[in-house]
Structure 1
Amino acid sequence: MAVNQSVIGSKAMIASPHYLATAAGARILERGGNAFDAAVAVSACLAVVYPHMTGLGGDSFWLGYHRAEGKVRGYNASGRSGCKASIGAYAGLAAIPTRGAGSVVTVPGMVDGWDAVHRAYGRLPWGQVLAPAIEYAENGFPMSKDQYANTARHEAMLARTLDTADIYLPGGRAAKPGARFRQRALAGTLRRLAQYGRDDFYKGEIAKEITDCLGLRDGLLTADDFADHVGDWVEPVVGSYRGYELYQMPPNSQGFAGIMALHILEHFPLGGIGHGSHDYYQLCVEALKLSFRDRNRYLTDPAFSGVPLERLLDKSYAAKLAASIALDRALPAESEALGSDTAYAAAVDEEGNAVSFIQSLYFEFGSGVVAGRTGVLLQNRGSFFSLDPGHVNSLQPAKRTFHTLMPAMACRDGKPAVLYGTQGGEGQPQTQTAVFTRIVDYGMDPQQAINEPRWVWGRTWGEPTQELKVEGRVPAEVLASLARAGHRVRKVNDFDGIMGHAHAIVRDEQGFLQGGSDPRCDGAAIGW
């Protein structure tokens, strides 16, 4: 399999999991937009050209650096559960359904995120930023291999809802790769947003169509839930690693787990340990398992239950955890069965503004429910709430759930140096750790860091077992030694989509931008 080559530029760069979205972001920059305009345009385009991974019916998280402000700021564009959401609403069930209207528990936060980021920092008119997405939805685009594979795999689920099947299964089957794929209903919704703005999605005709559709299916979300929705500007969670300042989104995001893992790894001389060796994989996997233990114990909506970030991110606590790691023994640990569909992207402009952002529907195609004539595929993120009233992430009204989405940014001397992130549920902190340590400890450019063999431990794609899945390019002797240490090792394909779709932008010591896009997806990095 051919792998991507690193992209180098000196002025600006865009990286995303679909080449058309990347190209749209580049066009926005060329037309005078800044990184924030480009990021919203890329996000909107991904909602069209990568519909199995993201959409207007989902959530997003944003980390942005505005040069004039000189600081990193976050926006939490995730939705809360509806006023009728309660454990009692699912009486007789062991868990919230993962598909169908019963899985639609939280209000989509995506559109609010676009509006907030653009209002705060955008330069171009709102309609101009949304224009590329409207064009792709109305006129169509070539069906990608990734979209086709996911559509074919989920044909039976998509066929359950007529409005969904009409769009995603023309003629009753998934369209073949390369076929023109149109979403005219979604184009109409995007046009309304361009004309009337964010409030049409939460208080206007779009909101009415979505909630009327859910009402006919005994859904829990109401018009009042949409009207009450608002996202939040937040202070990022901060850590450090070998001279870099680390920034992640605060809870309800799992971002702090990524910082915890790096704090633990800072106690080991990774640069002196052979990359791709048993010790490299062992240290990374064990550090992440320890961070997951605390994440699973505490992560939820902080408005409902406090998350002790000060203690979890304390370097002395990291030292204690690091001391528990053995090179020849796998620690016992439990992972969560988390969803997988996500799209990460990043944008940097010539002024030095930078945006690292991520968005999702939770499972592939989310709930599987397209809301009436809107063309909007609704997420099933709220299905991760627990029906156990004693669980930290138990379902309650107006609550945000445990969220896997975690865009990352690392700074040097207060300025963005590395923007990175990935698709993949519980795989997100794992792949972030792989990419970042390869860049910082091993001096790899972002493309090489992404191309190198990866691993994913646990149940990130709903797997029933706690396997350590490792790409087939890892030497057999390393796989054997990991198995002897107690890992349940399974070799997968050489470049396996189960590892997620990672992307990164690095500003090197000379000021050049270097970009990488994952060969496991349909993406591209463009720089100039």
Structure 2
Amino acid sequence: MRRRTFLAALPALTATAAAAAPTVYPGVGPGDRIAGASFAGRSTVWGANGAAATAHPIATLIGIDTLRRGGSAIDAAIAINAALGFLEPVANGIGGDAFCLLWDPRSGRVEGMNGSGRSPRGLSLETARSRARNGYLPSFGAVTVNVPGTVDAWWSAHQRYGKLPWAEVLMPVAELCRRGAPVPQTIAWYLERNMTRFTPENGVEEVDNAFRVYAPGGRTPREGEVFRNPDLGGTYELIARQGRDAFYEGPLAEHMERYFARIGGWITRADLAAHRTEWVDPLTSNYRGVDVYQLGPNTQGLSTLQLLNIAEQFDLRAMGFQSAASIHHQAEAKRLAFEDRARWFSDPDFADIPVERLISKDYAAERARLIRPDRVMDRVFPGDAPHQGDTTYFSVADADGMMVSWIQSNYRGMGSGLVPDGPDGRTLGFMFQDRGELFSLRDGSPNLYAPGKRPFHTIIPGFAVRDGQPWMAFGVMGGGMQPQGQAQIVINMVDYGLGPQEAGDAPRWQHYGSSEPTGQPAEGVGRLHLETGVPEATRTELAAMGWVLGPPDGGFGGYQNVIRQINEDGSWTYGAASEMRKDGLALAY
């Protein structure tokens, strides 16, 4: 039986664990700040007209430029996402899926968008099981590829909320792909390690295209070197000129169908043509006066709400920030929520999921009574998805009051390892996702693989409303870290009064070892990993409670946030925060 953690989910990390650690200078701490939390890396960025926080500085600049050209927050989100598919290919791209929560100032409500694709209709459960490894679907190769939902998500969002012409949103990004951009530190690190896993031995049917795109000249680009992807630029230009149909029904669909036929895969043009983005009513629950919004299954957004509902039963503020008691109760709430995640979460078109019961305060109180204040629970009940994949998350807001929380991923790092053929001996410049790995092969599981089904999804955008007004568009990337990280952000801001940048810079915890929706059972009490900044006294007390502690492993997510502040004169301003653990940037104007 295998337990796939963050280290296992990213290529070659276990073999090069030492490379994952930053350079350590014993006894050296952060510099001093004259205001705000002492551990914060910088202050929140403020502006009156618009804001963007993304995982790459150039993507943030593209978002701000789109807003200043008269674009809506959705126009900016599409441009940012397209740019990140080029700039941050280790985390996202048009071969993957997208989800969004946004505040619509016209309707005065939070809207939800599910842009996830379905499994190939020609891939049977019997065939999927024949490709299994140790009873689970493999991490790479064609059997893990579902229909990519991102391009249709862009199109659907633009049809509703776009201001700029479609082509004007995408063409600057197509030009950027051809011109190229220097690779920042963290992305260079992940890119090198991702590419080492794309081999025939790991089930990837064809690897030459991936290496032509991402390792030209025989290696991946190093930090500061310029990376170009003209093939992706050509793909973006075709989508810019012909719309979403170029991808799902036109020439790009033809190339993808021929590619899978060549390598022995299953995605067809008919699968692509059948795909449609869904606009959905998000789930919501109130946490100490703040309405927190999440997307329902097939995502894990419900876990964030359950975790917060259980945590709300305890006075975390009185327990103290970064105290053992506070972290203990939060982590136990996670363990309880994740057992329901394993038991119930799947495509709602294929399963009856008791959402109202799972999200209720009565149920949270019932579950909270299981938590012992001085000792870790020996066992919680009930199932498995690998813990971590790489994802990009960003927030953007415009002068009209629209706020967008957007998340997009190829799942396990860069995805399946498969880059489709393009015209004239080139490629299409993007990699297909491997999200299908998250299906279960266990009979009786609601997440059991079936043709035309959406798998359990880890990626979740977050949104919060306070006093009936939009408060923050926020998210924390990283597989199973996402509900845990989002809950920590809310708790840091609501219970402990931290600002958006401080809330993200604060030390984080992550618990591994819960049951999972792919069928993998819990491993005892699991492991509670703590970042270096957690006080030593807290660590000692948690260990005495029975927690098995793990070291920092780089799996604490990637955070972005844009908040809206209502000022005394009735005007609003935006505050933007970005992740200190990544290469990103927050800007406002």
The TM-score normalised by the length of structure 2 is 0.86
Q: State the Cα deviation string for residues 350-380 of structure 1 (Å, max 9, x = none).
A: 2111111100001011001111121120000
Number of aligned positions between the proteins: 524
Correspondence for 1:100: 141
Q: Tell me which amino acid in the other structure corresponds to 1:115.
A: W
1:82-121 per-position Cα deviation (integer Å, ceiling 9, x unaligned): 11122211344322221122322x1000000000000101
Equivalent position amino acid for 2:396 in 1: A
Deviation at 1:288, TM superposition (A): 1.3
The DSSP-based 3-state class of the residue aligned with 2:177 is helix
Asked if the contact 2:209/2:420 (under 8 Å) is kept, the reply is yes
**For 1:437-470, what per-residue CA distance to the aligned partner results, in whole angstroms no more than 9, with x for missing partners?**
1111111110000001001111599999732110
For residue 498 of structure 1, the aligned residue among 521, 540, 555 is 555
Pairing 1:85-96 to 2, within 5 Å after superposition: 85-92=123-130, 93=132, 94-96=135-137
Show the counterpart of 1:295.
341
The residue aligned with 2:166 is 126
Please state whether the residue corresponding to 2:551 is helix, strand or coil: strand
CA contact (8 A) 2:188 2:222 kept: yes
Pair 1:41 & 2:98 matched: no
Structure 1 segment 43-62 matched on structure 2, within 5 A: 43-62=81-100
CA distance in 1, matches of 2:47, 2:513: 38
Change (3 A) 1:358 1:459: farther
Would you say the 8 A contact 1:410–1:416 is kept in 2?
Answer: yes
Provide the rounded CA distance (Å) in 2 between the counterparts of 1:399 and 1:83.
9
Superposition deviation, residue 150 in structure 1: 1.1
**In structure 2, what is the Cα distance between the partners aligned to 1:82 and 1:159?**
23
Query: What's the offset of the Cα at 1:138?
Result: 1.1
Give me the whole-angstrom Cα distance separating, in 2, the residues matched to 1:320 and 1:192: 54
Which one of 467, 473, 487 corresponds to residue 527 of structure 2?
Answer: 467
Following the alignment from structure 1 to structure 2, what is the Cα–Cα distance between the partners of residues 11 and 289? 41
Partner of 2:538: 478
Whether 1:285 aligns to 2:331 is yes
Indicate which of 559, 571, 583 corresponds to 1:522. Answer: 583
1:13 and 2:51 are equivalent in the alignment: yes
One-letter amino acid of the structure 1 residue matched with residue 150 of structure 2: M
Is there any run of 5+ residues in structure 1 with no aligned partner, and where?
none
Aligned amino acid, residue 420 of structure 1: F
Instruction: Give the C-alpha shift of residue 127 in structure 1.
Output: 1.0
CA distance in 2 between partners of 1:90 and 1:353 (Å): 42
Query: What's the offset of the Cα at 1:129?
Result: 1.0
Deviates more, 1:237-246 or 1:302-311: 237-246
1:213 aligns with 2:259: yes
State the alpha-carbon separation in 2 of the partners of residues 222 and 40 from structure 1. 26
Change (3 A) 1:316 1:506: same
Q: Is the 8 A contact 1:4 1:517 kept in 2?
A: no
SS at match of 1:419: strand
Cα 1:40–1:91 shift into 2, 3 Å: closer
Q: Give the root-mean-square deviation of aligned CA atoms.
A: 1.9
- For 1:437 and 1:132, locate their aligned partners in 2 and report how far apart those are by CA, in whole Å: 39
Confirm whether residue 417 of structure 1 aligns to residue 471 of structure 2.
yes
Inter-partner Cα distance in structure 2 for 1:519 and 1:162:
35
Offset at residue 135 of structure 1 (A): 2.4
Partner of 2:34: none
Q: For 1:36 and 1:7, locate their aligned partners in 2 and report how far apart those are by CA, in whole Å.
A: 21
Q: Output the CA distance in 2 between the equivalents of 1:498 and 1:58.
A: 21
Task: Select 2:435's aligned residue among 378, 381, 395.
Answer: 381
Look up the equivalent residue of 1:48 and give its one-letter code: F
Task: Give the secondary structure class of the aligned counterpart of 2:484.
Answer: helix
Letter in 2 for 1:119: Q
**Matching of residue 353 in structure 1 with residue 353 in structure 2:** no
SS in 1 for 2:442: coil
1:64 and 2:102 aligned: yes
Aligned equivalents of 1:280 and 1:131: distance in 2? Answer: 48
Aligned to 1:150: 190
Residue of structure 2 equivalent to 1:171: 217
> 1:182-208 CA distances to partner (integer Å, 9 max, x unpaired)?
011110000000000001100111011
Structure 1 residue 11: deviation in Å? Answer: 2.5
The answer to whether the 8 Å contact 2:90/2:194 transfers is no
CA–CA distance in structure 2, aligned partners of residues 486 and 392 of structure 1: 33
Shift in Å, 1:335: 6.6
Query: What aligned pairs does 1:237-316 form with structure 2 within 5 A after superposition?
Result: 237-316=283-362
SS in 2 for 1:499: coil
- Displacement after TM superposition at 1:523 (Å): 0.6
Checking the alignment, whether the CA contact within 8 Å between 2:125 and 2:451 is kept in structure 1 is no
Question: What letter corresponds to residue 55 of structure 1 in structure 2?
Answer: G
Structure 2 CA distance for partners of 1:36 and 1:154, relative to 1, 3 Å: closer
Offset of residue 306 of structure 1 = 1.3
d(CA) in 2 for partners of 1:18, 1:515:
14
What residue ranges of structure 2 are gaps of 5+ in the alignment? Answer: 1-29, 32-40, 201-206, 422-426
Give me the whole-angstrom Cα distance separating, in 2, the residues matched to 1:338 and 1:108: 21
- Report the alpha carbon displacement of residue 291 of structure 1 after superposing the two structures with TM: 0.9
The correspondence for 2:152, drawn from 112, 117, 125, is 112
* Residue number among 32, 36, 45 corresponding to 2:70 in the alignment: 32
CA contact (8 A) 1:311 1:317 kept: yes
- Aligned partners of 1:440, 1:249: CA distance in 2, in Å? 21
Cα offset for 1:162? 0.3
Amino acid at match of 1:67: P
Return the match for 2:495 from 417, 441, 449.
441
Distance 2:442 2:385 in 1: 15
2:459 is aligned, of 372, 387, 405, to 405
Secondary structure of 1:355's aligned partner: strand
- Stretch of structure 1 that moved more, 435-444 or 156-165: 156-165
CA 1:336–1:158: 2 relative to 1, 3 Å: closer
Tell me how far apart the structure 1 counterparts of residues 467 and 508 of structure 2 sit (CA, whole Å): 30
AA aligned opposite 2:543: A
Name the structure 2 match of 1:4: 42
Q: Structure 1 counterpart of 2:498, which letter? A: M
Name whichever of 89-98 and 362-371 sits farther off: 89-98
| Alignment match of 1:394 (pick from 438, 448, 451) | 448
Q: CA deviation at 1:346?
A: 0.8
CA distance in structure 2 between the partners assigned to 1:193 and 1:223 by the alignment: 16
CA distance in 1 between partners of 2:409 and 2:129 (Å): 28
Partner of 1:162: 208
**CA–CA distance in 2 between the matches of 1:85 and 1:414?**
46
- Aligned-partner Cα distance in 1 for 2:360–2:535: 36
Mark the CA change 1:213 to 1:4 in structure 2 (over 3 Å): closer, same or farther: farther
Per-residue CA deviations over 1:45-86 (Å, capped at 9, x if unaligned) read 111111010000000101111111111111110000111122
